Amino acid sequence: MKILLICGVGASSGFIAQQMRRTAKAQGLEVSIVARSESELLDSVKDSDCLLIGPHLAYQEEMIRDSIAPYGVPYAFIPEEIYGAIDGAGALEVALKLINEKE
């Protein structure tokens, strides 16, 4: 299972991805969690099971939705309280819910 996180330049999502990896490992989940900048979205989304996006990019939702539509990858904006707290457990929960809803 591969989870892709996107934010402006990839720094904030990198911190959240690190916390998500720790949580996934503690839960015994085999998950690949990758953080990328928004400029790398289309190169990275193809092989992903879900996409989490930093809340500050919500103004680009229509463009993001349209650009990833051909890949059928479910997406969600990370809730601000999870993003701001760098809550890896919360972000992982959002991602797993997306993936389970897709199946």
Residues tagged active-site: 7
Q: Give CA–CA dist 101/84, Å, rounded.
A: 25
Q: Give CA–CA dist 68/40, Å, rounded.
A: 12
DSSP 8-state secondary structure symbol assigned to residue 1: -
DSSP 8-state secondary structure symbol assigned to residue 49: S
Residue 36, beta-bridge partner list:
6
Element (H, E) at 4: strand 2-7
